[in-house]
Amino acid sequence: MTKQILILNGPNLNLLGKRQPEIYGHDTLEDVVANCSVLAEELGLTVTAAQSNHEGDIIDQIHSARDTAAGIIINPAAFTHTSVAILDALNAFDGIVLEVHISNVHKRESFRHQSYVSLRADGVIAGFGVEGYTLALRRMASVLT
Ligand code: DHK
Kindly state the average pLDDT of the residues 71-83. Answer: 98
Helix 131-144 to helix 29-43 angle (10° resolution) is: 30
> Would you say 103 is a known binding-site residue?
yes
CATH class assigned to 3-144: alpha beta
pTM, entire model: 0.98
CA atoms in the 13 A half-sphere facing the CB of 100: 26
> Would you say 81 is a known binding-site residue?
yes
Residue nearest to atom 8 of ligand 1 (CA): 77
pLDDT tens, position by position, 19-64: 999 999 999 999 999 999 999 999 999 999 999 999 999 999 999 9
Write down the pLDDT at residue 65.
98
Distance 122 CA to ligand 1 centre (A): 19
Question: Cα–Cα distance between 110 and 127 in angstroms, integer?
Answer: 15
Within 10 angstroms of residue 35's Cβ, the number of other Cβ atoms is 17
Q: Is-contact 17 31, C-beta < 8 A?
A: yes
Write down the pLDDT at residue 113.
98
Query: Per-residue pLDDT for 142 more than 90?
Result: yes
Query: Would you list the DSSP string of 33-84?
Result: HHHHHHHHHHHTEEEEEEE-S-HHHHHHHHHHHHHH-SEEEEE-GGGGGT-H
Distance 108 CA to ligand 1 centre (A): 10
Query: Per-residue pLDDT for 70 more than 90?
Result: yes
Write down the pLDDT at residue 98.
99
Within 10 angstroms of residue 126's Cβ, the number of other Cβ atoms is 20
Active site residues: 24, 101
Strand, helix or coil for residue 9: strand
Write down the pLDDT at residue 1.
82
Residue 89, Cβ density class (10 Å: 0-12 exposed, 13-18 middle, ≥19 buried): buried
Kindly state the average pLDDT of the residues 71-86. Answer: 98
pLDDT tens, position by position, 87-121: 999 999 999 999 999 999 999 999 999 999 999 99
Pocket of ligand 1 (CB under 6 A): 12, 75, 77-78, 80, 101-103, 105, 112
Distance 66 CA to ligand 1 centre (A): 25
